[in-house]
Amino acid sequence: MKILVLGSGAREHAIVEALLAEDAGHEITAAPGNAGIAARVETVALDATNGRIVTQYALDNDIELVVVGPEAPLVAGVADALRAKGVPVFGPGKAAAALEGSKAFAKRIMEKANVPTGRAVRATTGEELASALDELGAPHVVKADGLAAGKGVLVTTDRDAALAHGEYYLQHGPVLVEEFLSGQEVSLFFLADGHDVVPLSPAQDYKRAYDGDEGPNTGGMGAYSPLPWLADRWGAEAAFVDEVLDTIALPTVRALEEEGTPFIGLLYCGLIITDEGGPGGGAVRVIEFNARFGDPETQVVLPRLTTPLSQLLLAAATGGLGRLPYPTFSDEDAVVVVLASEGYPEDPITGREIEGLADAAQVPGVTILHAGTAVSDDRFVATGGRVLGVVGRGDGFRAARDAAYEALGRIRLEGGHYRRDIAERVVR
Ligand code: AMP
Ligand code: GLY
């Protein structure tokens, strides 16, 4: 199949690797890609957020499936432009992508679909913000309504900081003040074809910059999959997955179908498992929806997928998910650790050389995924905040984790930093 993958991060690199691993002779192009992706497949310098340009490219090159990685093209309507010309595309149109693009829209759909989530109050003025903070109480959770690249959310006990954060984002649009929810976070992905929904395997993301969940929120510093501790409470991971499918993912997709804005693509359920209730009884609540694969969770979910990814994505894009068996996963455990540039997330320093990649790739069970890299004078240089995702796979989390950290130890990037505690809690 001729497949075009849009995006330039480690998530897109993971998607490309999963498609290559099928060994099905796909002709894959990535736009714009990065240096790691370019070492594996053809890349083209397209503006992935421009629907007209992407559609023209797809038509000119007989692309049979477009896979949209990041949220920006979705919110910009790139999937709509492709669909209008009959190009199969994995990714929702602009209207359904508002599930990620507007937190207020997401709350409305959750209410309509009776999906469990925290209480939220929308504020459009400083006065409304202040009264919402008092109404919901501390700890305060303040979220920008629109896309803010992971920076729009502040969780704090400091009312003044919550007020300042909200007032800053009020300059750009509404903000949401939410009830604080405490518990373990789970990222669970579902493929949807507008009507039918099938689950992938859960992962856990590490959002804070430093060990012990200290420091600022980031795009994600690491992840692991599967989540063995889900079985402690649900008996089996599959029971948890079924509960989320029945109470969250399917009702949400059906609510969007009913509104005439079908969700075709990946529904990312960002969940929190509260201490309340129990299995089947209100313990799981949604903290956010995204309209695309998570980054870095995809880097640990896709390597475990044993069903051909292209079949699933094409079935979602063309309305055939209900006819396929559920995706299956290997028993291996997977861990990804993100190497970030000095100064990330606030002010990353880019342009520095990355050394030791070839040596690191020799570690058994390791795949090095590129996030923000380019080649300059035959050398790899860091071009972004998140530079690499080092994935370790193995029989057990200890082996997977040891492999990832062994490889990271062989990579040199001046000022580069990574968390040392990714997946520590699941090494038993
Ligand atoms: P979001 O961008 O909505 O995923 O929020 C980023 C992070 O903020 C989440 O991963 C949580 O750690 C935290 N967060 C978001 N909403 C809440 C909430 N209602 N209660 C507690 N923590 C939250
Ligand atoms: N890892 C969080 C996200 O993809 O939004």
Ligand 2: lining residues by beta carbon, under 6 Å: 205, 220, 290, 294-295, 297
Please tell me which residue, 120 or 341, carries the higher pLDDT value. Answer: 341
The CATH architecture annotation of domain 183-323 reads 2-Layer Sandwich (3.30)
- Reported as a single tens digit per residue, the pLDDT across 387-413 is 999 999 999 999 999 999 999 999 999
pTM (2 d.p.): 0.95
Cα 86 off chain centre by: 27
- Reported as a single tens digit per residue, the pLDDT across 119-134 is 989 999 989 898 999 8
292 touches 135 (CB < 8 A) = no
Residue whose Cα lies nearest atom 4 of ligand 2: it is 294
N- to C-terminal Cα separation, the chain: 42
Which CATH fold would you assign to the domain 333-427?
Glycinamide Ribonucleotide Synthetase; Chain A, domain 4 (3.90.600)
Ligand nearest to the CA of 219: 2
- Reported as a single tens digit per residue, the pLDDT across 38-48 is 999 999 999 99
Residues of the chain with CATH 3.30.470.20: 183-323
- Reported as a single tens digit per residue, the pLDDT across 235-260 is 999 999 999 999 999 999 999 999 99
- Residue 57 Cα, ligand 1 centroid: separation in angstroms? 38
Sheet containing strand 65-68, strands side by side: 42-43, 27-32, 2-7, 65-68, 89-90
- Residue 146 Cα, ligand 1 centroid: separation in angstroms? 15
Residues of the chain with CATH 3.40.50.20: 2-94
Residue whose Cα lies nearest atom 10 of ligand 1: it is 207
- Residue 207 Cα, ligand 1 centroid: separation in angstroms? 9
Provide the 3-class DSSP secondary structure of residue 426: helix
Token reading at 68: 């949209």
CATH assignment of 120-178, among 1.10.10.10, 3.30.1490.20, 3.10.310.30, 3.30.70.270: 3.30.1490.20
What CATH code is assigned to 2-94? Answer: 3.40.50.20
Ligand 1: lining residues by beta carbon, under 6 Å: 118, 141, 143, 153, 155, 178-181, 185, 207, 217, 270, 287-288
Phi, psi of 426 (to 5 degrees): -105, 5
Residues of the chain with CATH 3.30.1490.20: 120-178
CA distance 216 to 231: 31
CA distance 145 to 107: 11
